[in-house]
Amino acid sequence: MIKGLLMFVGVSLLINTSQAETQNHAEFLEFYPDCGFEIVDTVKHSGMIRSDFTKSPKFYISEKMKKLHQDILSKAEKNGIHFLVVKSRKLSPAYDESMRFNVTVEYLKTCSDPHKRGGKAAKFDALGQKLATFGQIKVGKNKTITFDLPHSIVRTELSDNFTVSLDGGLYGIKLGTTIDEVVKTFGTPSFWSSNQEGMEIVAYGRRHWLTFENSVLIAAKFGTSIFDVELMNHLDFDERFDDRKWKVENSVQRDDALPNTDKSSIPMFNNQSQSLLLDTEVMLENRQEEKNRRVIGFELKTNHANSFSFDNTQLSQSNNQDYLFKTLSSIGESAEIDVKPLLQSVLGKTPKKNGQQFLLIDGNTLVKASANSVTKILLSSGYVDGASPTWHFGPFYAGQSLDDALAVAGDSALHMLDVIEIEHNRFTMKLFASEEANGVQIYAMEVSIY
């Protein structure tokens, strides 16, 4: 529901423009005038939109949006302004099916020919749509130029090579290949990470993990022992890799049964410089009456290759959690949490998708950023193997008893089953608890900022 609302509101943010301009003698410009002009005022409009899909799930027009459009033009007309530019437009999920919107409009005092093109293009048109988005930029009515934008996600078409082998590598990509050549062949990774030793690891989908040292491929693994499933749940699926029915040396295929073995990791093939191992798991089958060990993964690696890992200083950076809590506690109606102070300690990140991405800040902290603002904070007992299971966020922390967390949250908090929800006019905080040996304890937190 939210996704559909986002898409539509972005299109209909300032709808019925031509009619309103005629009535109010004011209009929105897509280009700053090529002649002289002056920005006489910058006005911000914000509010909440409550969705209503009783008429159509895609084309319901909020009364709030129509009123916003009239308010902008009326205020401009009262101030003797006839030309406006939409400087920014931001939409954020709020609670239930609601959205919070923020629109910034510039009032222009301009020359006698404001429609003369040649000046700088505005970021948004009169409908609140970006003028440069999804690889296209408008150059005139019904005309577009398509070009590659920075941070665009590229999905290449893979060959029909499904084999992992010592000679052929991973689907034709051999160990020793540079990271640039891998990205050229496989496209944009779903996740990228680096450590203090300069090693890099990238993921394609949620299951294929490739390790690089000095920008050269030294290992390829189906599955990972470094990152927890809590992190992988936030990575985009890539059906080219996640659904791939791979086979090892043309002899063993994904999900094949391996009888007569009790080992979970089996060294199947090796030579002087490389080794290829199979990962297996015992499966209960035939109404759980039979045990079969099946192939669930592989690891192709250079012999004596260094293992990718983080040191404790990278995993434990409580100053990040302190910054997020202090900034959130003092957030005002129009303020945002700046993501830039967190960037120096980023352990890993997803590619930008529609301007949003996940950033792994430390072993326990994952944030979602939109442009330069934090929109979601996720705290967990560990996104990375070896991370301390503890985190602190103001008065809340991992291992805190449910009763203590409820006392801190106060009477206005909502408690349902093992979830505590705290509502604020700018954010919603959720605390998640589970039954442990010492009673019900907090283990994770999620903060949604809007």
What's the rounded Cα separation, in Å, for the pair 89 and 128? 7
Displacement of CA 412 from its chain's centroid (Å):
31
pLDDT score recorded for residue 40: 82
The domain tally of the chain equals: 3
What's the rounded Cα separation, in Å, for the pair 190 and 153? 9
Q: Do 296 and 331 belong to one domain?
A: no
What's the rounded Cα separation, in Å, for the pair 186 and 172? 11
Q: pLDDT grade, residue 79 (50/70/90)? A: confident
Q: Do 318 and 423 belong to one domain?
A: yes
- List the beta strands (DSSP E) in 371-438: 373-379, 392-393, 396-397, 414-416, 419-423, 427-436
pLDDT score recorded for residue 125: 56
Examine residue 154 and state whether it is found in any structural domain, yes or no.
Answer: no
Domain end among 302, 326, 347: 302
pLDDT score recorded for residue 333: 66
What's the rounded Cα separation, in Å, for the pair 310 and 31? 49
258 CB-contact burial (10 Å; exposed 0-12 / middle 13-18 / buried 19+): middle
Examine residue 151 and state whether it is found in any structural domain, yes or no.
Answer: no
- Name the 3-class secondary structure at 402: helix
Q: Do 200 and 285 belong to one domain?
A: yes
Q: Could you tell me if 89 and 69 are in contact, meaning their C-beta atoms sit under 8 angstroms apart?
A: no
pLDDT score recorded for residue 320: 84
87 vs 129, which has greater pLDDT? 87
Q: Do 237 and 341 belong to one domain?
A: no
User: Model confidence over 130-162: pLDDT tens digits?
Assistant: 543 333 333 344 433 333 334 568 899 999 999
Domain end among 97, 121, 146: 146
Q: pLDDT grade, residue 123 (50/70/90)? A: low
Q: Do 326 and 406 belong to one domain?
A: yes
Examine residue 382 and state whether it is found in any structural domain, yes or no.
Answer: yes
Q: Do 119 and 211 belong to one domain?
A: no
Q: Do 85 and 193 belong to one domain?
A: no
As a whole number, mean pLDDT of residues 229-255 equals 91
Q: Could you tell me if 297 and 222 are in contact, meaning their C-beta atoms sit under 8 angstroms apart?
A: yes
100 vs 417, which has greater pLDDT? 417
Q: Could you tell me if 129 and 89 are in contact, meaning their C-beta atoms sit under 8 angstroms apart?
A: no
Q: Do 295 and 321 belong to one domain?
A: no
Mean pLDDT of the chain: 79
Pairing of strands 163-165, 247-248: parallel
- Find the angle CA(12)-CA(81)-CA(109) to the nearest 5 degrees: 110
Q: Do 317 and 266 belong to one domain?
A: no
Q: Do 8 and 137 belong to one domain?
A: yes
Query: Is the confidence at residue 337, as pLDDT, over 80?
Result: yes
Q: Do 124 and 167 belong to one domain?
A: no
Examine residue 292 and state whether it is found in any structural domain, yes or no.
Answer: yes
pLDDT score recorded for residue 185: 96
* Domain encompassing residue 114: 2-146
User: Model confidence over 221-236: pLDDT tens digits?
Assistant: 999 989 998 999 999 9
Tokens matching residue 298:
């592989």
Other CB atoms within 10 Å distance of the CB of residue 376 = 20
What is the sign, positive or negative, of the torsion defined by CA atoms of 306, 307, 311, 315? positive
Domain end among 146, 177, 204: 146
As a whole number, mean pLDDT of residues 256-274 equals 74
Query: Is the confidence at residue 412, as pLDDT, over 50?
Result: yes
For the chain, how big is the Rg over CA atoms in Å? 27
- Specify which of 40-44, 263-267, 274-278, 386-390 reaches the highest per-range mean pLDDT: 274-278
52 vs 256, which has greater pLDDT? 256
As a whole number, mean pLDDT of residues 254-268 equals 71
H-state helical runs in 179-317: 179-186, 229-232, 239-242, 312-315
Contacts of 318 (CB under 8 A, 6+ apart): 392
Q: Do 218 and 268 belong to one domain?
A: yes
Examine residue 363 and state whether it is found in any structural domain, yes or no.
Answer: yes
Examine residue 176 and state whether it is found in any structural domain, yes or no.
Answer: yes
Rounded percentage of the chain residues whose pLDDT exceeds 90:
40
